[in-house]
Amino acid sequence: MIAYLDNAATTRPFDSVKEIMMKTLEEDYGNPSSLHTKGVVAEQYVKEAKNIIASNLKVDAKEIVLTSGGTESNNMALIGGALANKRAGNHIITTKMEHASVHNPIIYLENNGFRVTYLNVDHNGHVKLDELLEAIDDDTILVSIMYVNNEIGAVQDIAEISKKIKEKKKDIIFHVDAIQAYGKYRIYPKKMGIDMLSVSGHKIHGPKGIGFLYIKDKIKVKPIIYGGEQQKGMRSGTENVPGIAGLGQAVKEIYTDHEEKIEKLYELKTYFINEVNKIEEVKVNGVDGISVKDTACHVVSVSFGGIRSEVLLHALAEKGVYVSAGSACSSNHPQLSGTLQAIGVAKDLLDSTLRFSFSVFTTREELDYALECLNEILPKLRKYRRH
């Protein structure tokens, strides 16, 4: 049996996504910048996808910039936003548990003269609001906080954070990395006070290599890619029509019967946590004293005492159980997780933690098989535990 439990890394595309992509590859393969019929048809796919996304977010289609994915969206928001507004100040605020696609652009900005404050979080990964407000000063131009943490599933109260930020200094730009949140929550940027929002297609059963950045009208952002002036110069380059069409279809499908999808995921998550807690020397991270429904529906972080995560990951993979030792984007460069350190996970568990993540395709049978494998593998591996 196969149990694919690495959906925070990527998801299997919906059948309807594959179908529309194949149509654009086989029939409607024109360049959307071309003036002839095939170009016009291709351009329609781009317009339709933007309209679907804009309608879903309750924003204007002109506020959507299509990108190559979450990393580009975050880079555009942070580097483009900071450079466009540096006359207003040079201070940026973020947290100690952001994804590398936020953390590394901010380090780049820090190395180029911007001042950065890295906020602490509590043991469940929640931003300390008083610390955030205290950090805001006259030079603060940008705050970037992720909606859902990709490693432990911590969820921030984005609307409340925005409200407090804007009360303290109304012209601060608030960027939200929603790459793990979009498709799991209904997100309305204007209502929630979000100025820029990053999303990636392959986290919502769309294709890889596509995403978008919502930029609120009047927010100044410098382009970071220059060329043929596509998308009004904000993101030059021939549009990835198959990916864009697939993204639009994925947005449409993930939000169909949305409440039922999310309820099913919470049921699976609750079941898995209850069962995995029956195993000896196990700790589920980010759920101390709070309800499972106060966390994201699809991510479970589990520390297994006495066993290196990489060893357990490969042992599970040999049995067809696919999980992650952290962020997929960093898996080729293993290092201790900044997120786990930020929430105070014990030192001996930092490299003993796996992430199990679910999707609308995940079944109870897959979870039972994964639990069966854990119960079989762990006693064997613990015979050779480190001392």
The string of DSSP letters for 104-132 reads: HHHHHHHHTT-EEEEE-B-TTS-B-HHHH
Report how far apart, in Å, the C-alpha atoms of 263 and of each of 227, 241, 266, 267, 270 are: 45, 33, 5, 6, 11
Select which of 116, 282, 329, 381 is catalytic. 329
Q: In the block, which residue shows the tokens 């973020």? A: 94
**How many residues are recorded in the chain?**
387
CB 283 within 8 A of CB 349: yes
Confirm whether 297 is a catalytic residue.
no
Rounded to whole angstroms, the Cα distance separating 152 from 98 reads: 12
- Count the helix, strand and coil residues of the chain and give each as a percent rounded to the nearest 5: 45, 15, 40
β pairing state of 299-304 and 353-357: antiparallel
117-122 contacts: CB < 8 A, separation 24 or more? 117/91, 117/92, 117/93, 118/94, 119/93, 119/94, 119/95, 120/95, 120/96, 120/342, 121/95, 121/96, 121/97, 121/154, 121/342, 121/343, 122/343
127-135 contacts: CB < 8 A, separation 24 or more? 127/95, 127/156, 127/161, 129/160, 129/161, 129/164, 132/93, 132/161, 132/164, 132/165, 133/164, 133/165, 133/168, 135/93
Evaluate the CA torsion angle 342, 346, 350, 353 in order and state its sign: negative
Tell me the catalytic residues.
329
